[in-house]
Structures are given as C-alpha cells and as structure tokens.
A and B are shown apart, each in its own frame.
Chain A
Amino acid sequence: MIGRIGKWGFISLLFIYLYLPIVVLVVNSFNSTKSGIRWGEFTTKWYSAMWNNSGLMDAAMNSLLVATVAATAATVIGTLAAVALHRYRFRGKGALNGMLFVVMASPDIVMAVSLLALFVTIGVQLGFWSLLIAHITFCLPFVVVSVYSRLSGFDPFLIEAARDLGASQWRTFIKIIVPMAFPAVAAGWLLSFTLSLDDVIISSFVTGPSFEILPLKVFSMVKVGVKPSVNALAAVMLLLSLIMVAISQFLLKQKPSA
C-alpha cells in the first residue's frame, strides 16, 4: 500500500516538474495582464500581436522552409542509407555506424564549431544553405536509426521474392521497402522537422544576419525580458510539437502490415 502511494507520488511529482512550466506558459498566453503572475481576464490579444509582428512571422516562414527541406533531404538520404546498411555487408560498415553514433551523441556546440569552421574555410555565405547543410547533418542519424530498426522486423523473403521476380534494386526499394517501412520513414521526417525547428545552438553559429529563423528570434526576444507575444508563440510551437510527437508515436506503434 505504502509502496503504491510512494510509486505514484514519485511519478506524479516527476510529471508536475516536467509539465508545470509548460502549463503556466500556455495559461499565461491567454492572460490579459502583462506581468503574467496575476490573472486578469481571458484574451487572445497576444496571439494577434504575434500574428501582426512581421519580423516574427518572417522568421517563422524561414524556419518552416529550412525545416521542410532539411527534413526531406535527411529522410531521403537516411532511408537509402538505412536500407543499404541493413542489407549489405561491406568494409567500413562499422566506421559508418560509428560516425552516425558520434553525430547523435556529440554535443550540439561541437558540431556548431566544426561546421562554422568548414563554412568559413570554403567560403560559404552564412544563411539558408549553411543552415540547411547543418540541419540535414544533425537529422540524418535519427532517420537512419528509426528506419533501420523498422527494417529489422521485416520478413527478408519478401525482398528475395521481389528479386526472383526480376525487380531491380531500385524498384524493390520503391515498391516494397519504402511502403513497408513507411511509418518509420514518416516518423523520421517528423522528428527531423521538429529537431530543425527547435535547434538554437547550431543555428546560432551557422546563420547570418540576412536570414533570421524562429528559435534565434525568440532567443533575442526573451533575453531582453518576458514578452506576452512570446507566450503566444510558445503555445503555438508547443501545440505543433505535440501534434508531431503524437503522430510519430502512433506511426511507430503500427505493426508491419506485410
């Protein structure tokens, strides 16, 4: 009995800690008083303030653009790579796996420094392209891992059957493997999209003044002080992430259909 109370007490405290700040933030985004401590009355004015802030909206569009392209590219490369890593044995496979693991484990700041060093040396203008390359790089391993683990649950005879019936590798990839691995591919895309939208550390190194993106804009806004329109923006972004994670969890739970 005491064990049960202790267990659920501990778990409840944990979740209060994880969720209280988020809840307070969302509640405040509807609060008419500016200080955000005392409840005034229900309002959506911060949302319209956010919507009418053109600088903020431009940054949001830039972020969505980078996130969409980066997630798509990372998903294409990552899915191809995962299939190849799963199917073939070759020299250097361990090294490739190792590098993917290193990218995942290495702190953002290390990747930020190294990519900036590269861009400065080869003379890439900091902005859209440098951001895109950086975002594809940090998303890539997550797609590979997500797709690879899905492939491990496959029936290998399906692929052999396709080959025996004369399908080329590419055809097998497009007609058999991608549809079967679709939930993991989609989840990889969603995760990449979210990671790209959220990244502060790497982006702050590899973007230039001409191309402003949302997290950095938010960062410069909240450094100065608490602004209610940031609450509104935060609530929108939280909702977006929540939808993404819900879809991806749903997709990953799907049993392989074939």
Chain B
Amino acid sequence: MMTTTSRPAGTPDADAQTARRRRGVPWLLLATLGVVGLLVASLFTGQYDVVGADDGAWMFAVTRVPRTVALVLAGAAMAVSGLVMQMLTQNRFVEPTTTGTTEWAGLGLLAVTVLAPTASIMARMGVAIGASFIGTMLFFLVLRRITLTSSLVVPVVGIMLGAVVGAVSSYLALATNSLQYVSVWFAGSFTSVFRGQYEPLWVVLLVLVAIVVAADRFTVAGLGRDVATNVGLNHDRVVMLGAGLVAVATGVVAVVVGNLPFVGLVVPNVVALRRGDDLRSNLPWVVVLGVGLVAACDLVGRVVIAPFEVPVSLVLGVVGSVVFITMLVRGRRRG
C-alpha cells in the first residue's frame, strides 16, 4: 500500500498532489497485477479439467470466462456504489446493504416473480432497479429530514429501514410460498453465472463510465449542500444522479448475482484511510480493490469445501463484518 503520508484532498498545493498521485501509480499497477493474478486463478479453479478434457475450451468459454467477467463487474459496481453513496451522504458507514437498497431490490425482484412469473430478465431487472431507486431516495429523504447527533446512527437507521422492507418481503414470500427462493437469493453467489445469463451485468460498465465522468461533481457534493451550492453545483440534481446510478448498479447485480454485503463499505473506507476523499483519483483504487476482494472471497468459497461451493456472500459477510468491526473499534480511539 501507499507509504506517503495521507493529506486531505483538495489542498491548494496542486503540485504536491500531482506528485503524490504519480508516486501512487506504481503501487496501483502492482495492485492491479495482483488482482489480475487472482482473476487468472479464478479462471483455472474448478472441478472440470478445462485444459485436458476434449470440450475443455468450450466449457472454459461458457462458464469460467463469464464467471470471471461477472466477478470483475459486480465487484467494481458494488465498491463504487458504496463510494458514491458515502460521498453523497457525507457518511463513512453508508453502502447499499446499510441503507436498505439491497432489500428494496430484493422486494422488487420478489414482486415481479410473484406477479409475473414469466417476465423476462430485462423486465425483472427494470423492476429491481426501480425499487432500489425508490429505496435509495427514501433513505436520502429520511437523512435530509432529520438532524443527526452522531454519524454512527445513520447505518442503524438504514438497517432498520431495510428490516421494514425485509418484513414486507417475507410477508409476500410466505403468502406465496417462495420463502426459500428469497433466502437463496439473499445468499449472492456466482455459481449460476454462465454464458447467456450474465450479459445484463455489462450495464454496470456504463454506470462506471458515468461515475468517472461525474466524479468531480460527487466530490464537491461530498463537501455538503451549502458548499456545493456556493460553488455553483445543483446539489439536488447531483444527488438524484448519484442515487440513480447506484440504483442501476445495485439492481443489476441483485438480479444477476444476488446480495454482496460489505464490499461497498470496506473497500472505499480502506482507500479513504490512505488517500483522503478525492473521488476521481480514488476511483481506480476502489475498482481494483473491490474486484480483488470479491475475487479473493469467491476463490476462498470455491476452494474450502470443494467439490462444493460456499456462496461468496457468506465469505464476504464474515470477512466484511470482521474488517468493519475492526475499523469501528480502532476508529473510536480517534473519536
């Protein structure tokens, strides 16, 4: 990781900042190499012998490549979503799983499964995206309506909101006998990713591009509503844009993969600890580490009880909660 002392972003000393950024580049390349190594390992991990068997190349193209691509896209999407939400709410503990956004996506998915069982994957995705957008906006609305005494209350509110939506989901699921479907969905996993099924995930790439284009706006919005308005930014519009992008990313990942807890929380926080809050220069780091975390957890899940698989969400849930709690406990020392 970086050895330079981290300074707050946005210091007027632009030269020093550029220099710092340049010094960061070799480290970023190194991290990228490491993650590429993980992805190659992911391509060649599994029960089927893709090198020796006759139809190995075909299996490789149909299952291994899509799975690895899905890992990259989903990991990047969740990590960047977390980063954008943390900017917009000015709160370090916010990400799609601590705001109820994932629960909303699940509710939308369940509703469409119950009401229109024959709906195409695009229709499902549309509903899930719409539901996550409603959920994200509702959370932002709540945050705007209340004055907070502590930033630590925000995720508690979000998780309670998620619990409310979860209660609605389980009512619906129990009434229609699809409870096990819901619980299987909640355990996100890349097991069922293969050619012909994962392609909608490419939408995430568009979201990433949009976030890179709008990165500086999000950084300014992260300075607060008043500052942002003062420097000529339409704060409401940027918040809407951010919520929309996060909803698209969460909705797509929810439909194709399922729930990936803590990625959006752990990765941006680790990056921000080292590098401060400049969204544009942090983005490559967040993408690389997000992909790395999801790829590593998926590999662990595939190896520990081979030939069976532990879903990646379980590994992420355990690893993520340990890292998060460590961060919280160490963070309270600084107050």
Task: Report if A and B associate in a common complex.
Answer: no
Residues of A whose CB lies within 8 Å of any CB of B are none
